[in-house]
A and B are shown apart, each in its own frame.
Chain A
């Protein structure tokens, strides 16, 4: 028998966006209140902050596109009919 996939509760689901400041004011208030009441959420927030920092680090270390990129685009749009 396959186990049912675990679903997050509402507050846990919102935590990643609380850290980035991208929640609506209502959701932000809900999470802030829950953080005051539930000590376990602080551990999740610490973990998510580590994940956030690592994600930014991974992406920032990636290369940037080559300088030839714009030339390819410019050549393609030059071949398009004028509008």
Chain B
């Protein structure tokens, strides 16, 4: 099983085996990069996050206690790195909570309406969501994470994760309605 293999890699990394780190990197670099890219919306920042994550793993492999899946642990580290980069990039007063709540109005559903394509409208609306809402949807549907794993990655209680996911899909439905799509939900 991949997770078991990853656990063995962490043991080898703790012992100072760079080949094990390279293998772990090869296995997870795309997922970590895409997760970071969705949060930071910057390819350069996402590259930095990937590097920082695996350098951190090398330096602090002992911090991974093995109580969770290695990929879940890596995504949690990546999230912290991504928000640190965002904090540096944005106004000093803008805290993580506020940054996470900002919705993107650059690609509006109105613009997408020109495309007359339901699927593209849905994608445009997904991209408009705040980082906090986007990340929970990505973690559930792209990274295939359980409620408990999402809670570990975002550092929030399980109940908060369920509520955040509910509000994310509700907000998404509102964006879709704004775009003129006929939706009966919620």
User: What residues of chain A have their CB less than 8 Å away from a CB belonging to chain B?
Assistant: 5-8, 12-14, 16-17, 20, 22-23, 43-44, 47-48, 50-52, 54-59, 62-66, 69-70, 72-74, 76-77, 80, 82-83
Contact = CB atoms under 8 A, between A and B. Distances in A.
Nearest to A56: B142
B46 A59 contact: no
B123 A58 contact: yes
A76 B57 CA distance: 12
Contact of B126 (A43, A54, A63): A54
A56 B141 contact: yes
Contacts of A44: 185-186
B147 A22 contact: yes
Contacts of B186: 44
The prevalent SS among residues of A at the interface is: helix
Contacts of B90: none
Given A13-B163, A51-B169, A52-B141, A65 B33 contact: yes
B145 A16 contact: no
Contacts of A7: 163, 166
Interface string B8-52: 000000001010011001100110011001100001001100110
Contacts of B22: 70, 74
B178 to A, nearest CB: 16
A76 B34 contact: no
Nearest to B122: A54
